[in-house]
Each structure stands twice: as C-alpha cells, then as structure tokens.
Structure 1
Amino acid sequence: MTNPLLADWQSDFQLPPFAEITDADFAPAFDAAMAEGRAAYAAIAQMADAPSYANTIEAMEQADALLDRVAGVFFNLAGADSTPAREDLQRDLSPKLSAYSSEIVNNRALFDRVETLWHARDSLGLDAEQARVLMLYRRMFVRAGAALEGADATRLTEVKSRLASLGTQFTQNLLGDERGWHMPLDDLSGLPDFVISSARAAAEERGLDGHVITLSRSLIVPFLQFSNRRDLRERAYSAWTARGANGGDTDNRAIAAEVLALRSERAKLLGYETFADYKLETEMAGTPDAVRNLLTQVWQPARATAMEDAAKLEAMLQADGQTGPLQPWDWRYYAEKLRRAEHDLDEATLKPYLSLDNMIAAAFDCAHRLLGLEFRPLDVPLYHPDARAWEVTRNGRHMAVFIGDYFARGSKRSGAWCSTMRSQRKLGGEVRPVVVNICNFAKGDPALLSYDDARTLFHEFGHALHQMLSDVTHGFISGTSVARDFVELPSQLFEHWLEVPGVLAEHARHVTTGEPMPQDLLDRLLGAQNFDLGFATVEYIASALVDLEFHAGPPPSDPMQKQAEVLDALGMPQAIRMRHATPQFAHVFSGDGYSSGYYSYMWSEVMDADAFDAFREAGDAFDPDTAEKLERFILSAGGSAEAETLYTAFRGRMPGVDALLRGRGLAA
C-alpha cells in the first residue's frame, strides 16, 4: 500500500490526508524523505558544472521538499496530539534528524560551492533577496561548523545530536508530569461557574466523576484566583511549579545541566567565548550586555511596583485572619480581590462576554479591517475533533489555510504556539501556507476566556498573520524566519487591537443574551490594563535574566543553584516566582530556539509599543496607509532584510524603551 505521507495529496488545498495517516506511516516516510534529500544534496555537491545561484542555492532550497512535508505533519501532531508511538518516534528521530542536518552542513563540497558564490557575489547579478539568501546560507554553514575539520567536526556533530535528544526528552518529561497529575476537587467554594465547568470537563476527559484541577494554565490560574481554600491553592501551585523536578524518570534537572554544558562546548568549538555570544551574534540585540541593559532598565521600576502591590496584598491576607507572609499561591487570589476593589472588575463578570467564538471573530474582523483578509470555515478532515479550519482569502485570492486548535487536553503539550504544516514560497511554483495556532484553553460549554486568554489568542494570531501574508521567493526566509528578537513583533503588536474600544464593543457580547459588554464594564476593563503588571514583568524578567546568565558564562554544574544565585542578586520578591523555573523552562531547554533568547519578548515589545503608536499618531487604529506599510515592511517581508532595516523602513527610526515603560505603567 502507498504510504499516504509520500503520495500526492489530492485533498482540498493539498491538506494532509489525516484520516488515512497512521503512526506506523511516519518512520518509513521519514526514511524515504531523508534518502531523497541525501540524494539531492549529493547531486548538488558532485555536480561537474561550476557553481551558480540556480544550481546550488536554489537547488538546496528545494532539496528537502518531501522531508519538510512529512516533518510538517509529524511535529505538529507530536506537539498537539501526542501518542506513545509518536513520543517513541520523536525520541528516535531527534538524533537521526540532527545527524542528517550535520551531514549537509559538514559536506565540504557543498560548502565550497557556497563559498565560491559568496566570493563572486558582486558579479552574479543577484537581486536583493537572492543576495540576502546567499549570505544566510553561508552564515548557516559557518555557524554550523562547516569550516571545522577532523576531531572538532566529529565532536560538534556528536554534541548537536545529543542536544537534539535531550531537548526531546525534556519536552516529553514535562508533558508526562502535566499529564500524570490531577487534584480531585470536593470543595468548590469561591469558584465561579466557568471554573467549575472547566474542572468538570477536565474530569470527564480523564474518565473521572466530579471535578479535578489539572496543570493546564487555563484551569490552574483561575483556580488560584478564586479558590477560598488556601491549602488547596498551595497544593495545586506546588505541583504546577514542581513540573520537571519531581525525581524519577521525568526529572529535568540533570538534563538542564547537560544541555548547558554541551551548548558551552558547542560555542567554544566554533570559536566563541560563551554560548550567549554565539547565539546573540545574529539577533538584533547582538551581545549579552545589550540584553542586560534592556532588562535592567525595566527591572527596577517593575520590582518597585510589584513590592508596592505585595504590601497591599499581604494586608488583605492578614485582614482575612491568615498567618505568615504573602506566598506565591496567595498572589493571584488577593490580586483578583484587589482588582475588584480598585476597578470593580472580576473575572467571573468578564468571562461571559469573552467566549472563544466571539474572540476568534474579533481577531478575524481586525485582520479584515487592517489587511483585507476574509475567513471561510472549511469542512475538512483534521487530526483531532477539537481542531477547526478556515480558508483565508483576499479579493478572491487564496492566501492560506488557517487551523485553530484551542482546547487543553492530556495529549497536548502546555503553552500556546504558532506553527506551519506548509510555509509560503514562490521558488518552483507558488505555494501558499497552512498555518496552525495551538492554545490550551479550558473546555466549557460554551468555552469562555479570561482577558489574558483572549490576549493569547490575539498574540498567536499575530504570528499566524506573519505566516499567511508572507510574500517572498525563498522558503528559507519565509514568514517567521527572522531574528528571534524580531519574531515576536507581529504577535505582540496584534495584541493591541484587543484593547481598541470599538473591537470589544462589537465582539464582547454576553454568551447567553448576546448583549454587548456594558460601557461601564468596558471602561473598567480597559482602565485596568496595567493592573498587576509589576508582577507580570518581574516574573518574566527574572526568567529572561536566568536564561541569559545560564549561557553568558561558564556552564553551571547545578542550574538550580545558579538560578537561586541570579534571583538573589536581583532581590526577587519572596511572593513571586519565575514565570518558568528551570525544570519546566521549555522555551530554553526543549531546543535552541529561545536559549539566550527569552528576553526577545521584551525586545520585541519595545518595538510593538512604538509600532502601535504609529496608528495612534495617524488617529485611527485601522489607518489604511499605516497598515499597508506594516504589511509591506514587516508582515510580508519575512527575513528578506535585517530586522533593523525592516523596522526602520516601517517606522522611520528605531525606538527607545520609553514607549514600553509607558505601556506597562512603569514610567516615572
């Protein structure tokens, strides 16, 4: 029988035939795809013809077409709907794919062809995009160790293979801890209906009666906000923050130590003093000092604000007759009470106006008003009943397929992310993308979101727009293939449209009555935008600085001790923890993507705060001229130029930190 992953896909929009694919199909499909890729690269390397852009760079661009297709399906499913077979295969694949990648970048004949083109680049008649792609290919080879020889080259391959395996194990350990824990809930006191409904749905998913709390953020956070039982809040919070550090087979602490040691070795093999120096070389920040400078500028005002808030919350705790200081499992509970007191606002009142369907419609409406996009529901087979799909068009032209998978479940890793099953490119024929947004919202009937959940939905949809509107020739620079500290600009910028009063006035409608959110409630919601941002900023910056210091010096033999030292030096408030403690810091340890790069959310926020000011200055959040510049220089451009060049083309200059501080309510 033909393997469906290898056959031509005849479905609408050439979507994967999910109903025909079984777990047993993936391993042979990967083997076939890697064999095809190896043959293609060998043909390029062994070609007798002199190197040209077409026979070398363009040929390499298309060599992995089948592997990209197979991997696009598998890794989306491995993250969003894992099975034991997929987890086993992912562990097996990690070193194989790492070895495959190393074979390519260590192929001296391939590198020599790229070098020949690089030295002749001024005489090749390349356009701007081609020149950029040639530079990026050469840089990729050099940074991957193509210039190394002998024992150093062999060792680098071993290091990268081991890192790939460790990243997979880290992620699967975390998923195992999250999937393996739940807390039966007999006392529902203080919990609003939407939390009770979500806790009941979580129990049903596990085949249990009653209600349970799980380690899904969209369930545990509202539980911590509302439960009157301090002892249960402590128990749930302790389990949440202990993920990856429970001992046994799923403990991530030794993995983190080995990852940091191997990354340091990798950097030194490539001639860098530290891994942070290596990693930041290609980012907008450039150096560890630039990152520290940004984070410390924001840390002090954020910490001061958080300490003022902590004093208020501790007074409320003591007024309740509780003993001892304010603890991390108390913060959200008393912050919710304080928000009600200061802004007459509580989550239980808000959530009926923030149904998932209404917030999806709001995101689509903003994309239509800004960028002319239309979204048509598709009735097509997908990989899970929770997932749904839309065709994205503009002026009748097909732009993308968008898949949204919004609910938490035991087979899905935690967090929220955007990925593609197929990326945009023009080389070899026009290819439009298949873009996926994954979230972990609590299931309900209907599903209701917190305001933070709604911001998450808008955030991931901003990433999706970056993919949908990509308009480049080379897949190598398509969509979100940009500097890590630039990639969060479109996502964080799109969050601002949730704050536009007209958007909520139109789409924030009561799930039962259909009535719009009352104006006074809307005013109070928007007036509370900066509430508790001292807390949010402190927990984030603490994580970003720990990540940086892990990689900016000698690798710590005990990462937990290093984490404690960094937090102590910062004067971390006792009642606030890192957003992601080391054993669950998947951004940093599941792969190299955000290693030395967790700061990038704040680096991008400097730009997104300034970028939204461009719409304010135009006097219209949907100003068409500003939106056209945003698409031309940011959303459609991919990695076709340096990030600073693209941003300056959009805004006319680079921003300072002032707009960020104002946006977070931290300006003096």
Structure 2
Amino acid sequence: MTNPILSAWTTPFEIAPFAEITDDDFAPALDEALAAHNAQIDAIANNSDPASFANTIEALEAAGEQMDKVLSVFFTVSGADSNPAREELQRAFSPKLSAHFSGISSNKALFRRVADLWVRKDQLDLTDEQARVLMLTHRGFVRAGSALEGNDDTRMQEIKSRLATLGTSFTQNLLADEREWFMNLTENDLEGLPGFVVDAARAAGEEKGADGPVVTLSRSLIVPFLQFSPRRDLRKKAYRAWTARGANGGETDNREIAAEILNLREERAKLLGYSSFADYKLETEMARTPDRVRDLLMQVWGPAKARADADAETLTAMMQEDGINGPLEAWDWRYYAEKRRKAEHDLDEAALKPYLQLDRMIEAAFSCANRLFRLEFAPLNVPLYHSDCRAWDVTRDGQHIAVFIGDYFARGSKRSGAWCSAMRSQAKFPNVQAPVVINVCNFAKGDPALLSYDDARTLFHEFGHALHQMLSNVTYESISGTSVARDFVELPSQLYEHWLEVPEVLAEFATHAETGEPMPQDMLEKVLKAANFDQGFQTVEYVASALVDLAFHEGEAPADPMAKQAEVLDGIDMPKAIGMRHATPHFAHVFAGDGYSSGYYSYMWSEVMDADAFAAFEEAGEAFDTERAKALEDNILSTGGSREAEELYLAFRGRLPGVEALLKGRGLIAT
C-alpha cells in the first residue's frame, strides 16, 4: 500500500492527512524520502552539462519534496504531541538526518558546481533574488565544511552527527522532567488562589490521573501559582522543581550533555577557521561580532539591574510586613510583585483574566491583521494531529493566502514554550505553493480558556511570526518567510505584540467571559499603565541568560558549564532573588539545537528595532495607518531573506535605531 505520508494529499489545501497517518508510517517514509533525495542530489552533482543556475541551484531548490513532507509532519507531531514511539523515532532519525545532510554538504562534485557558479556570478545575468540565493547556497556549503578535506572533513561529519543526537537527548530529557513532575494539592492548599488557577490545577490533575488538583511544570500553571499562592513552603517546592529541570541526576540529567555540546561546537568552529563558535555563528547575523552583542546587553543590564535592585528592596519590606524575616528569595518575587501590582496599580490579575478569553484574543489578533493587511480568516473543518487544534483559511480579496493552524493548550505530550513553524513554506518555484503555518502555545485549558496578560502577549507574538510566513512573497523556498538572520526573525513577532496594547483593540475584544461586558475603562487604563510593571525583573532574568549563552560560546568551551554559569552571574552581580530565565540544564533555545546558540540575545536585538518600528505608526498618528502597514509588508513581511536584514529595515524606517528606544519601551529610563 502507498504510504499516506508520501502519497498525493487530496485533503483541502493539501494539508497533511493526519487521520490516515500512523507512527508506523514515519520510518519507511523517511527511508524512501532519503533515497529519493540522494538520487536527486547525485543527478545534480554528476550532471555532465556545465553548471548553470537552473541545473544546479534551482535543481537543489526543487529537490527533496518527499523529505519536506515527511519532516514537516514528523517534527510537528513530535514537538507538539509526542509519545514513546515518536521519541524513539526521533532518537533514530537524528543521526540519520545528520548523516544525510552532512553527505550533501561534503559532496565534492556538488560543491564544485556551486563554487564554479559563485566564481562566475557576475556573468550569469541573475535577478537580485537569484543572486541572493546563490550567495546563501555557496555560503551555506562553506560554513557546513564543504571545503574541508581528509581527516578534517571526516571529523566534521562526526561532530554534526553527534550534535544532532545530543540535541535530541537534551530535548527529550527536558520533556521527561516536565512531564513526570507534579505536586499534589489538598483543598487547604488551594486557599488564596484565584479561581482560574484552581480550575487549571484541577484540569491538570485530571490529565495526570491524580486524585485531585496538582501543580505541574507547565509555565501557564506554575507561574500563576508562584504569583498567587500564600504558601511559601509550596512556592519554594514548586520553584525548585521548575528550576531543576534537566538537573535532577539520572538518565534525564542534561549537564554533561551541555558540556559535550559546547566542546563540539568549539571544535566545529575551529575546523572552519574561526577563533570561537560565537565568531562563527554571529558572522551571518545583524550583530556580526560577539563584542557588538555584549555591548548591547551591557547597555541594558545597568538600568535593568538598578530597577531590579530598587524593586527588591520594596518587595523585601512587603515580605517583612508579613512577618517573614531573612532575604527575599526567588520563590517570593512573583508573589510579592503581584501584591505590589495590585496595590500600586489597583490591578488584580484574577479580576483581569475573565476579560482575556482565548477565543476573543484570537479574534483580536485576526482583526488587527485584517485592518493592517486586509487578511480574512474562515474556520476550516479538517482532520489535524490533535483534537485541540483549530485551522483557518486565510484569504485576501477573495484569494487564498495560507492555512493557519492554532494548537493552544498545554498537555504532557507537548514540549514547553511557544513556537511558530511552517508545515509548508511559501514559494513560486518549482510550483506556486501557499504556506501552511502553525502556532503552538501552552495555555491552561478551561471552559472558557482564560489568559494572563503575558499569555495574550505570547499569542500576539507567535501570530506575528505567522504573519511573516503567511505574507511571504518570494520565488524560492530557501529564503521564504522567517528564513532570515536570527537576530532579525523576532522583529515581526515582537512588533505585533504592540497591537495588543492599542486601547481600541482591548476595548473591542477584552470582554468578560460571563457577562460579555467590555473591560471597564478604568481597568483598561490600569492594564496599559501597568504594561511595564516589573520590567527590572523581566529584563534581568532575560539578559542574564543571554550573557551566559554568549560566554559559553565566545571563548574556550567550559569544562563545567554550571561553574561557568555561576562565574558569569557573579561577574555581573546577579540579584540573588532573580533566577536566569533559562538556566543551563533546561536552556532548550541554546542546547536543543543550534538555532539560538550564541544567539539568545536576538530577542533584544530585535526589540531595539520593534520599539522603533511601532513608533513609525505612532508618528503617523494611527496604529492602523495603511501606508505604514504597506511599507511593513513590502519591506519586511513579504521579503523573507531576499536581502540583508539591515537593508530591509532601512527600507522600512530610513534609519537604524539606538538602544534608547528599547529602554524607553521597557520603562527603564524616563521618557
């Protein structure tokens, strides 16, 4: 029988036929796809005709269509709905895929053809987009080690294979720790918790098969528990479990894995002639060098730490008023910060949450996209990989633009965090294809599902990534959508968060779950005034993580990453009551793969631009200014990686911003 993954997909918009696919289909589908891709690569490499853009670069762009189908389906379900079979498959696939792609990059005949075209690029009469694709293809081969010979070439393949295996292990260990730990709560333990936290704890208990409510390590549950539970002993227990993920000893401990990853990255960079992995990694980013990254982070660190230190004194005094002596601890900060927010801004998250219904916030994100880019969203009734998922047909002026899928709820089979991915990317070659884009979040389930303000921000953030994919309008898939510099990719997502704070958006869509009444004007004003509340804490926990990531990669790989982490935090005088947002054993951004390695700073680099980019709309006097929206789409959202990121931003804004816009946006300096 034909494997349903590899057969023609006759579903609406050729969405993967999830209902027909079983876990047993993945391994044979991958083997068949690998064989087909190898045959295509061999045909390109061994073509007897002289190398041309069409028979080499475009042929590479067109190759691997079966691989795309297999991997898009598999990585979607293995990240968002894993099970033991899929975890085993992932462990088996990682070295196999690494070997496959290493084989392509070490194919000397293929590299000679690409290098030949690169030498003759000025005589090829290429379009700007074709020239860009040629440059990126050639650069990708060189950076993958294609020019290496002999033992160096062999060692590079070994390193890449081992890194793939280690990244998979790191991810699965973290998922196992998150899935297996939970803390039972008695009815007495629920005292002081708002209803939405109690409801989430009961729902989590049902999912875990517990006798009653539980706290899990899902961010959407543990953070509000730390905010609202008056039980300091339970906050301490939960916080320590949360921060111990990946560092509990035994088979799921990630500390030795992190050390090995850092050593192999350093060796990989030096094989390619770079002095450090950070130098290698940042060469292709907007920042370019480790020094520029450190300069940005330290410009922000000073004001952020000063604010956090002042806040710590206030929270310590509040704690002492409760009769608790001794220092403010990390499991105290969120609790007393929430009490302070309620006191200073008269803003009670328990009262706010009923106005932030998930369905209404989805509508708000869609409405903003309609007003800015004329996109319309119609529900699709199609089989997806989990019953929690929803799909929409995205159109503009009656023309199909994309399929958007939302998978919003936390569950034990889903890795933590939130992300956006394209199950199919936009392209015009070799065939015109519209994207299939998915947002995955970890919100607490409820009826109705209610979000924190932070959750609502996350929803808008990930939808900003989705717009980058959906509005892409380039020829070649390799430069489509979010295929841009890592420190530029967060600009559209962080920029889109600003529309959540537009008063008219909240006025229309922040309606009470029971009464349907709009958020009262005084509450709306308090929400907006409190938007920068506790930014000292949030900025410190983020910048500390980014500085540790940079330190791991800009010099010699540390023999003991945990000791190096402690050294960095001591060197910047990290406040004792604030933990890193991502400590090393659960720093998946950095260790689950190379994506954000030496690049966690990129959120802040993009934020420098997003504060300035939204100011362009404010200067136009209208958050939904059509001229600015068109400029944003034409110069950033539709262009993918067709030009250098700096060039794209300059085309949109006319200049590059300084760090002051970020500091003002976070309320860390006076406006």
On whether the aligned pair clears a TM of 0.5, the verdict is yes
Q: How far off its partner does 1:320 sit?
A: 0.2
Correspondence list, 1:16-415, <5 A: 16-186=16-186, 187-415=189-417
Q: How far off its partner does 1:208 sit?
A: 2.1
**In 1, distance between residues paired with 2:97 and 2:543?**
33
**In 2, distance between residues paired with 1:553 and 1:405?**
40
1:464 to 466, 469, 476: 466
Q: How far off its partner does 1:350 sit?
A: 0.5
**In 2, distance between residues paired with 1:275 and 1:341?**
47
Correspondence list, 1:1-12, <5 A: 1-12=1-12
Tell me the residue number matched to 1:450.
Answer: 452
The letter for the 1-side match of 2:21 is I
String of CA shifts for 1:374-412, please: whole Å, max 9, x gaps.
000011101000011001000001011000000000000
Identity %: 72
2:520 to 510, 518, 521: 518
The letter for the 2-side match of 1:567 is L
The letter for the 1-side match of 2:115 is E
**In 2, distance between residues paired with 1:211 and 1:221?**
16
Any gaps of 5 or more consecutive residues in structure 2?
Answer: none
**In 1, distance between residues paired with 2:171 and 2:47?**
41
String of CA shifts for 1:393-437, please: whole Å, max 9, x gaps.
000010110000000000000000001111111001110011000
**In 2, distance between residues paired with 1:626 and 1:483?**
23
User: Does the residue aligned with 2:438 lie in a helix, a strand or coil?
Assistant: strand
Correspondence list, 1:545-584, <5 A: 545-584=547-586
The letter for the 2-side match of 1:644 is E
605-614 or 420-429: which moved more? 420-429
Does 1:536 pair with 2:545? no
User: Does the residue aligned with 2:190 lie in a helix, a strand or coil?
Assistant: coil
**In 2, distance between residues paired with 1:400 and 1:280?**
32
User: Does the residue aligned with 1:655 lie in a helix, a strand or coil?
Assistant: coil
Q: How far off its partner does 1:62 sit?
A: 1.0
Q: How far off its partner does 1:324 sit?
A: 1.4
Q: How far off its partner does 1:666 sit?
A: 1.0
- Compute the TM-score of the two structures, normalised by the length of structure 2: 0.99
User: Does the residue aligned with 1:529 lie in a helix, a strand or coil?
Assistant: helix
Tell me the residue number matched to 2:509.
Answer: 507
- Compute the TM-score of the two structures, normalised by the length of structure 1: 1.00
Q: How far off its partner does 1:323 sit?
A: 2.2
Any gaps of 5 or more consecutive residues in structure 1?
Answer: none
**In 1, distance between residues paired with 2:282 and 2:551?**
13
The letter for the 2-side match of 1:522 is L
The letter for the 1-side match of 2:121 is R
User: Does the residue aligned with 2:532 lie in a helix, a strand or coil?
Assistant: coil
**In 2, distance between residues paired with 1:396 and 1:343?**
45
**In 1, distance between residues paired with 2:68 and 2:147?**
26
The letter for the 2-side match of 1:153 is D
User: Does the residue aligned with 1:366 lie in a helix, a strand or coil?
Assistant: helix
**In 1, distance between residues paired with 2:277 and 2:210?**
47
Q: How far off its partner does 1:265 sit?
A: 0.3
The letter for the 2-side match of 1:262 is L
The letter for the 2-side match of 1:73 is V
Over the residues paired in the alignment, what is the CA RMSD in angstroms? 0.5
Tell me the residue number matched to 2:622.
Answer: 620
Q: How far off its partner does 1:458 sit?
A: 0.2
Q: How far off its partner does 1:235 sit?
A: 0.3
Does 1:416 pair with 2:427? no
The letter for the 2-side match of 1:632 is D
Q: How far off its partner does 1:137 sit?
A: 0.2
String of CA shifts for 1:144-195, please: whole Å, max 9, x gaps.
0010000000000000000000000000000000000000011101100000
**In 2, distance between residues paired with 1:3 and 1:206?**
34
String of CA shifts for 1:211-254, please: whole Å, max 9, x gaps.
00000000000000000100000000000000000000000000
String of CA shifts for 1:519-570, please: whole Å, max 9, x gaps.
0000001001110000000000000000000000000010000000000000
119-128 or 169-178: which moved more? 119-128
Paired residue total:
668
**In 2, distance between residues paired with 1:316 and 1:89?**
51
User: Does the residue aligned with 1:405 lie in a helix, a strand or coil?
Assistant: strand
**In 2, distance between residues paired with 1:257 and 1:116?**
39
The letter for the 1-side match of 2:667 is G
Q: How far off its partner does 1:255 sit?
A: 0.2
The letter for the 2-side match of 1:519 is Q
2:666 to 639, 664, 668: 664
495-504 or 202-211: which moved more? 202-211
String of CA shifts for 1:12-40, please: whole Å, max 9, x gaps.
00011101100000001010111000000
Q: How far off its partner does 1:271 sit?
A: 0.3
The letter for the 1-side match of 2:199 is S
1:609 to 608, 611, 615: 611
**In 1, distance between residues paired with 2:64 and 2:572?**
46
**In 1, distance between residues paired with 2:17 and 2:69?**
12
The letter for the 1-side match of 2:54 is A
The letter for the 2-side match of 1:201 is A
Q: How far off its partner does 1:210 sit?
A: 1.5
**In 1, distance between residues paired with 2:169 and 2:180?**
16
Q: How far off its partner does 1:349 sit?
A: 0.7
**In 2, distance between residues paired with 1:659 and 1:300?**
16
**In 1, distance between residues paired with 2:311 and 2:441?**
30
The letter for the 1-side match of 2:8 is D
Q: How far off its partner does 1:53 sit?
A: 0.4
The letter for the 1-side match of 2:163 is L
The letter for the 2-side match of 1:171 is T
**In 2, distance between residues paired with 1:420 and 1:427?**
17
The letter for the 1-side match of 2:458 is T
**In 1, distance between residues paired with 2:617 and 2:159?**
47
**In 2, distance between residues paired with 1:429 and 1:96?**
28
Tell me the residue number matched to 1:644.
Answer: 646
String of CA shifts for 1:327-369, please: whole Å, max 9, x gaps.
0000000000000110000110110000100100000000000
**In 2, distance between residues paired with 1:429 and 1:249?**
46
349-358 or 203-212: which moved more? 203-212
Tell me the residue number matched to 2:496.
Answer: 494
The letter for the 1-side match of 2:525 is D
User: Does the residue aligned with 1:266 lie in a helix, a strand or coil?
Assistant: helix
Q: How far off its partner does 1:322 sit?
A: 1.0
**In 2, distance between residues paired with 1:390 and 1:632?**
24
4+ residue segments displaced more than 4 Å: none
